[in-house]
Each structure stands twice: as C-alpha cells, then as structure tokens.
Amino acid sequence: MNRKKTDKKNICIGKILAPHGVRGLVKISLYTDAPENIIRYGKIFDKSESKEFEIELKSQQKDTFIASIKGIIDRTQAESIKGMMLYISRADLPDPEEESFYINDLINLDVVDGKKNIIGKVVNFYNFGSGDIIEIQLTHNNKLKTYIFNKDNFPIIDIGNGLITMTIED
C-alpha cells in the first residue's frame, strides 16, 4: 500500500459522554488504538477549534475512560461540555507504519475497479464491533452503499494517487 502523509484534516479522537461525579471529571469515549497516547497528540480541541483541552486519563470503565480536563472543576462545568467531540490536527500524528494508514486519510478518495474505472468515492467508515465498514457514494447512481472493509475486498490502498481498488462486483 502506498502511503502519503496529508495534513488536510482534523481527526476526531473521541467524545465527552457525561460528567462523572461532582468534581469535574468526565466520561470519554476514545476512538484511538492506544488511548494512553492522548498525552502525545499535542493540542486537543473542539470541532470549531475555539476550545482547547488538556486531558488526563484517570481510569477506565469498560469502553469508556474517566478523565480530568484542565479548568473543569465541578459537575456544572463538566455538564456544559457533554457531547462535545474531541479533535487533533492530522499534522500532529506520526506517519503510519508500512501497510498501515489512517482511516481519515481515506475519506474522499476515489474507489476504482480492477481496470481503474472510477466507481465511487469514499464517504465514511463505521465499526459497530464486528469490523470496519466502508461507505461509498456510487458514481453511476449517486447512492450510498456500504461494504466490509478488508484486504480481500479492497486490496490496494494508494493514498498518494487518491485511489482505493475494490474487487467486489455488484
């Protein structure tokens, strides 16, 4: 797989779910492979980039984390940021390892068949627990369609040329 680091987007790394207790702690769902790396990401901010957060993970409860956020000292303040999505700059991430990529880098890439005919564009990715799902807007009818995202179905990821090859035939 051809890789190319792009600085084009901010990446959502998590969501503030709810306050936890009365001292300003919050429950956070993190979308990262290694949640403990949250301190290495650099600046963490909201979608509009108007609020910046310093987050310290305190503990884990199943799939959520209890965290403190600098400046949030009580439940009322924690309640005010409930539901907020957390972002980092794509430029703050290290280059992915060989044969790896960041999902965010695949959004808006053209999807081609084995003959390099464009059949659609990547719109989004989902994971509901059983594996990654890719959502593609098809060129021929403009409809959205989802597929299991794996090496068999999408054997070539060429970020440098903006292409993903799909082997599934509808």
User: Is residue 26 in some structural domain?
Assistant: yes
Report whether pLDDT(5) > 80.
no
- Which is it for the CA torsion 16, 18, 20, 22, positive or negative? positive
Size of the chain, expressed as the number of residues it contains: 170
Query: What pLDDT, on the 0 to 100 scale, is given for residue 3?
Result: 34
**Residues pairing with 145 in the sheet:** 136
Question: Are residues 82 and 109 both part of a single domain?
Answer: no
Question: Are residues 85 and 119 both part of a single domain?
Answer: no
- When divided into structural domains, the chain yields a total of 2
**Residues pairing with 61 in the sheet:** 64
Question: Are residues 23 and 65 both part of a single domain?
Answer: yes
Report whether pLDDT(2) > 60.
no
Higher-pLDDT residue of 33 and 83 is 83
Residues 6+ away with beta carbon under 8 Å from 64:
17, 27, 28, 29
Task: Residue 65: give the domain boundaries.
Answer: 10-92
Single out the residue in 36, 61, 92 at which a domain terminates: 92
Report whether pLDDT(6) > 50.
no
CB atoms within 10 A of CB 68: 18
pLDDT digits (tens, 9 = 90+) for 85-96: 999 998 888 788
User: Is residue 5 in some structural domain?
Assistant: no
pLDDT digits (tens, 9 = 90+) for 50-73: 999 999 999 998 889 999 999 999
Report the distance separating Cα 87 and Cα 64, nearest Å.
17
pLDDT digits (tens, 9 = 90+) for 117-149: 999 999 999 888 788 999 999 999 999 999 999
CB atoms within 10 A of CB 156: 15
Answer yes or no: are the C-beta atoms of 168 and 144 closer than 8 Å. no
Give the pTM.
0.70
DSSP 88: E
pLDDT digits (tens, 9 = 90+) for 28-56: 998 887 888 787 887 899 999 999 999 99
User: Is residue 25 in some structural domain?
Assistant: yes
Query: What pLDDT, on the 0 to 100 scale, is given for residue 8?
Result: 53
Question: Are residues 14 and 74 both part of a single domain?
Answer: yes
Confidence of residue 74 (pLDDT cuts 50, 70, 90): very high
Report whether pLDDT(11) > 60.
yes
Amino acid identity of 97? E
Question: Are residues 112 and 87 both part of a single domain?
Answer: no
Question: Are residues 36 and 78 both part of a single domain?
Answer: yes
User: Is residue 3 in some structural domain?
Assistant: no
